[in-house]
Amino acid sequence: MRLVFLRQIKHTTRTVAPHRDDVGCRGLERWFTEKKPSTFNTLCSLQHLASGIVKATMSLPRIWWKDQTTWRSLLYRGDLISLDRLEDMFRSLEETTVKTWKGSVLRGRHLHVDYDTIKEDLAADDIGYCFLNDPRNKAFHHRTILLETITDDPELRDVFLLKQGSSYLWKADALRGWLTDYSVLQGLLMLRCEMLAGGPARATEMGSMKFRSTATRRVRNLSVLGTHLAMLTTYHKSGAMTGTDRLIPHSIDAFTADLIIQSLAIARPFAEMAAQVCFPQRADIHALYRDGLFVNFDRPFDTDTLSELMRRHTQPSMGVGLTINPWRHISIAFRRKLCRGASDLFEDEQDLESVDALMSGHSRAQENRTYGISAESLAGPGEDILPLYLTASTDWHVVTHTVPGGVMLPYEEAMGKYFADLTRVGVIGHIQQARKPSSAVTEERVSHLISEMVVPIIGQEIQSAVKDALTQVMAQLHIAPPDEVPRTVGDSARRASSSMTGQEAKKRAMPSPSSPSAASPTHSPLSRAALRRQRKSTLSSSSSSSGGSMHASVHRSTPPFRPARPSVSPSLLPPPFSPEIMEELALAPTVPIDQELAEDRALEVIGGLVQKPFVDWSCTSQREAMMAVLSCRTDVIAVLPTNAGKSMLMIVPSILEEDMVTVGILPLKSLLFDFQRKLDKMGVAYEIWTGDGHGRLGGQKNLILVLIDQVIKPSWRQAIAELNETRAVRRYVFDEAHYALTASNFRDCLQDVYAIRQFSAQFVLMSGTIPPTSEESLKTSFGLLNDTKTIRADLTGRPEIQYILEPLRDSWEQIFLRTQQILEHEVAEFRPVDRGLVFVPFKEKGFLLARYLHCQFYCGGGDLTDDVRRDVYQKWVSGHHKVMVCTSAFGAGNDYPHVRVVIHAGNPYELVGYIQESGRAGRDKAHARSHVLPGPWPLKRPLLPSSAPHAAWVLSRG
């Protein structure tokens, strides 16, 4: 369709407005632009929908590994493929290539161009330039070697030349026969590049490669990078969308590299001459032989020809004829298991690409969906990245026992049969053999070893400290100090250590730095809960027997009476969350839950986390939501007000449920920082998935935090699926779930959130701003169950916040000045714990305002790194800066309690965001103020359909 419009634009340019393509484009633009009502827009929408379904669907496995120890054999659609047979095929291919080169191309004559080094100006793009005609490479300047050999050799002269009188004419038939032989050699070299030069390149691109710069293609496809002869591909599926090419080098193995050089230096000049004789009127064929890297007689190689060539050479050695598509699957599977990837990671927030995937011409997402999982990632190549691609290629060479690229040897000395000898004498350096499973060093083993080393030391230190303290006290009392403190402490510790699991030993041996004394049971939320349960049971028994009543919580106005459970000696209590307790709680969704017992246990955990001896539910809605989450019978939507304890819906289940995983999904990095702060303060164990290329989840923590940007990536889907095989993923908890409705128009990661649920697991959505009219949209977006339980607090208002709408300011200078005046007044009354926030709609204004106020600026995107963001946040929380300027990236979920003032310097983007941002104030229930300083822009922002119900609900509540 766009081509039709382009034709019409050009017609308008020719007939109506000469040299003005913009005139024709302006009149037709709406008909070939998305987001505007037209047939084109409808078709594009359907295409995006279909693409989204395809991209979200993982392909069925074509490969089954037979050897899961050394990863050297697999089944591809039932056919056995082994590395041993592949190596045999490559060795046979070498013999065939040498025979073709020596016998058919050189016609039995021994010709070879000797070189030590090859120089190339990689930046040169002059038309016709390549390393062969670089003035510094004098070895390649003699272009008539083969021609002179033929004319000087009587036997060859009779074959190719016809004497007429005193002159000679070329025999066209003989030259055609030689060009046919030369195309056979070209096909063999191209096949080796396809199968051995790292990730398989696209055959269409390989067939059109140029070894020298041309007028239309300045970037040549064959270059010398150090000692590597590299084939440079640029094709990538995203090229049409991005408008840019990617430079992806493939290191060619030593054998093939030298033969390509010999072919170009010796045979190609003669082939150019032969093509002019055989095809005198075909300028396209002349250009093909002059510039093309691979030539198939009178045409470029195509995919079908290369597939047939591959099938013909793989059938004898492997018993199955492979073509290009099966080879892509097989090679990627082997390389993923056996090849070392690029160790330097280059992350882009939008997408991560991998060395091997880019070498194969597709994105990492495509490789993960269709071919496998890649562990090495980078976002784009540069001069410091190119060696990583070469390494990815040479690793595959080593796996197949092929002399790797970068080893500059004559082809006869670089054959695979000499691989072992070259390795032994050190010619092949830094060899990486195929990965072998290393002996597992488990956390339990490490914890056990640590406990064995640490416990005796701790025991001795305790004894020494106690002895010193007793000595001082007894000296004051005039009592002789004891000679030695009994060794019960160390012995008890050692006995306890010997009976602990590795995870328990690790927790005891390495206390959390955030806890004042992690080794002390009085500071552990678990042990505090157990003691409180025992105390509660004892108190209830005594009050029941005396006929009186006692409240279980000092906060309950009318507590329900609950029959006392038998008093149990603390020494007989099982571990707080042992399998016995879990069986009692019966948290599995298929078993009825003892709600009263579950409530008690949840309250005990909450009390331990907030370090209060007795706590109660913040509201009835929190209790209902917690019970719905723990029962795990269906999905849950929890709409709770500020300070109602929404975060406990994520934290408490991860403590109560042993060997089950709760995944906390956060839409903002500021939320992640805040959760880290809270969890560290509470002493809760957790793991963060950063998507930095490690590839696996540790699996030792019951709570995993992850950003929504990472959840949509295949690396996360693979990692969580692997973890689910060993530890069940119980639920996904999505904080500030309303972002799926309000931010999906500009954050792609929020568009298909239904795909997050890979297997049977509960969805828990939390927010304070989900209106009833948006519930169905939210359920649809997340794909929630039909019987999803919604718990909604009666009131989500904030009476403690005073909302102040300032007069309209005509300029940003006036807004900055008024902001400074407000803060000077507010900060003067701050307590040490009080803080202030200033929200701005534009990043550039945020940087300016922060400089004006002498504070720091927090924003999302690439303007700040995560480390800088974390530092800005920590300095604000610690009080180093009492005030922080920020964008909406800090607007949701941050629970620092003592924010006294929130200022919106400029118009808020939208009402839902404003409610979230102003709601950062007064979370300690003390009086706070929220100022809005309207500015010159935007006076009005059109609402998207998904945002309209939210805005209407906010207005109605206001």
What count of other Cβ atoms lies within 10 Å of the Cβ of residue 410? 16
Q: Are 709 and 349 in contact (CB under 8 A)?
A: yes
Mean pLDDT score across all residues of the chain: 77
DSSP 8-class letter at 569: -
Q: What percent of the chain has pLDDT over 70?
A: 73
60 within domain boundaries = no
CA angle 725, 727, 728 (to 5 degrees): 85
Residue 436: band (very low, low, confident or very high) from pLDDT cuts 50, 70, 90 = very low
- Section 172-199 average pLDDT: 93
The reply to whether 220 and 348 lie within a common domain is yes
849 within domain boundaries = yes
pLDDT given for residue 448 in this prediction: 60
pLDDT given for residue 447 in this prediction: 58
The reply to whether 418 and 454 lie within a common domain is no
Residue 496: band (very low, low, confident or very high) from pLDDT cuts 50, 70, 90 = very low
516 within domain boundaries = no
> What is the rounded CA–CA span in Å between residue 11 and residue 299?
35
561 within domain boundaries = no
* Residues near 510 by beta carbon (within 8 Å), at least 6 away in sequence: 450
Comparing 12-16, 500-504, 689-693, which segment has the lowest mean pLDDT? 500-504
Split into its structural domains, the chain has a count of 5
The reply to whether 632 and 729 lie within a common domain is yes
Question: 782 is in which domain, residue-wise?
Answer: 523-544+575-792
pLDDT in tens, 88-124: 999 999 999 999 999 999 999 999 999 989 999 988 9
pLDDT given for residue 28 in this prediction: 83
For the cut 90, the answer to whether the pLDDT of residue 527 exceeds it is no
pLDDT given for residue 202 in this prediction: 79
The residue among 360, 359, 392, 314 whose CA lies nearest residue 87 is 314
Q: Which residue has the tokens 């050699």?
A: 185
For the cut 50, the answer to whether the pLDDT of residue 261 exceeds it is yes
pLDDT given for residue 22 in this prediction: 82
431 within domain boundaries = no
CA angle 8, 9, 10 (to 5 degrees): 90
Q: Which of 764, 792, 820 is the last residue of a domain?
A: 792
> What is the rounded CA–CA span in Å between residue 111 and residue 206?
27
CA angle 127, 250, 311 (to 5 degrees): 110
- Section 253-259 average pLDDT: 96
Q: What is the 3-state secondary structure (H, E, C) of 207-265?
A: HCCECCCCCCCCCCCEEEECCEEEEEECCCCCHHHHCCCCCEEEECCHHHHHHHHHHHH
The reply to whether 340 and 237 lie within a common domain is yes
pLDDT given for residue 781 in this prediction: 86
**Is residue 148 helix, strand or coil?**
helix
833 within domain boundaries = yes
The reply to whether 591 and 684 lie within a common domain is yes
What count of other Cβ atoms lies within 10 Å of the Cβ of residue 449? 14
Q: Which of 792, 812, 835 is the last residue of a domain?
A: 792
> What is the rounded CA–CA span in Å between residue 269 and residue 274?
9
Residue 574 has which token pair? 């099982």
Residue 194 has which token pair? 């396809």
pLDDT given for residue 754 in this prediction: 82
> For residue 588, what is the domain's CATH number?
3.40.50.300
219 within domain boundaries = yes
The reply to whether 653 and 758 lie within a common domain is yes
For the cut 60, the answer to whether the pLDDT of residue 945 exceeds it is no
pLDDT given for residue 847 in this prediction: 92
The reply to whether 687 and 766 lie within a common domain is yes
pLDDT given for residue 694 in this prediction: 61
283 within domain boundaries = yes
pLDDT in tens, 830-881: 999 999 999 998 888 999 999 999 999 998 877 888 889 889 989 999 999 9
Residue 502: band (very low, low, confident or very high) from pLDDT cuts 50, 70, 90 = very low
Q: Which of 488, 510, 532 is the last residue of a domain?
A: 510
For the cut 50, the answer to whether the pLDDT of residue 531 exceeds it is no
For the cut 60, the answer to whether the pLDDT of residue 344 exceeds it is no
CA angle 24, 25, 28 (to 5 degrees): 90
Our measurement of the distance from residue 549's CA atom to the centroid of its chain's CA atoms, rounded to an integer in Å, reads 57
Q: Residue 223's beta-bridge partner residues?
A: 230
The reply to whether 244 and 154 lie within a common domain is yes
Write 856-862 long-range contacts (CB < 8 A, 24+).
Answer: 856/881, 856/884, 856/885, 857/884, 857/885, 857/886, 858/670, 858/884, 858/885, 858/886, 858/887, 858/889, 858/890, 859/886, 859/887, 859/889, 860/668, 860/669, 860/887, 860/889, 861/349, 861/889, 862/349
The reply to whether 504 and 535 lie within a common domain is no
pLDDT in tens, 726-784: 889 999 999 988 888 877 776 878 878 888 888 889 999 998 878 888 888 888 888 88
The residue among 140, 255, 247, 132 whose CA lies nearest residue 189 is 255
pLDDT in tens, 868-912: 988 998 999 999 999 999 988 887 757 788 999 999 999 887 777
> What is the rounded CA–CA span in Å between residue 217 and residue 639?
59
Residue 519: band (very low, low, confident or very high) from pLDDT cuts 50, 70, 90 = very low
pTM of the predicted model as reported, rounded to 2 decimal places: 0.46
> What is the rounded CA–CA span in Å between residue 709 and residue 889?
14
- Section 585-595 average pLDDT: 47
For the cut 70, the answer to whether the pLDDT of residue 252 exceeds it is yes
Q: Are 496 and 489 in contact (CB under 8 A)?
A: no
Query: What are the backbone angles phi and psi of residue 779, rounded to the nearest 5°?
Result: -60, -40
Q: Are 635 and 785 in contact (CB under 8 A)?
A: yes
pLDDT in tens, 59-80: 667 888 998 889 999 999 889 9
Q: What sign has the CA pseudo-torsion 525, 531, 532, 533?
A: positive
For the cut 70, the answer to whether the pLDDT of residue 411 exceeds it is yes
CA angle 810, 816, 819 (to 5 degrees): 110
Task: Label residue 753 exposed, middle or buried (CB < 10 Å: 0-12, 13-18, 19+).
Answer: buried
Q: Residue 883's beta-bridge partner residues?
A: 836
- Section 940-946 average pLDDT: 43
* Residues near 402 by beta carbon (within 8 Å), at least 6 away in sequence: 90, 196, 253, 254, 255, 416, 419
pLDDT given for residue 296 in this prediction: 95
Whole-angstrom Cα Rg for the chain: 36
For the cut 80, the answer to whether the pLDDT of residue 165 exceeds it is yes
Q: Looking at the chain, how many residues does it have?
A: 958
pLDDT given for residue 475 in this prediction: 66
Task: Label residue 467 exposed, middle or buried (CB < 10 Å: 0-12, 13-18, 19+).
Answer: middle
Q: Are 640 and 793 in contact (CB under 8 A)?
A: yes
pLDDT given for residue 2 in this prediction: 76
pLDDT given for residue 513 in this prediction: 36
Q: Are 293 and 230 in contact (CB under 8 A)?
A: no
The reply to whether 385 and 497 lie within a common domain is no
pLDDT in tens, 541-550: 433 333 333 3
Q: What percent of the chain has pLDDT over 90?
A: 37
Q: CA 239 → CA 236, 542, 836, distances in Å?
A: 5, 77, 46
**Angle at which helices 268-278 and 283-291 cross, to 10°:** 180
More confident residue, 8 or 285: 285
Comparing 459-473, 687-701, 785-799, which segment has the lowest mean pLDDT? 459-473
Query: What are the backbone angles phi and psi of residue 73, rounded to the nearest 5°?
Result: -150, 145
pLDDT given for residue 477 in this prediction: 57
* Residues near 416 by beta carbon (within 8 Å), at least 6 away in sequence: 87, 90, 91, 94, 255, 400, 401, 402, 403
The reply to whether 416 and 456 lie within a common domain is no
- Section 406-418 average pLDDT: 93
For the cut 50, the answer to whether the pLDDT of residue 692 exceeds it is yes
Q: Which residue has the tokens 């030539």?
A: 295
The reply to whether 786 and 836 lie within a common domain is no
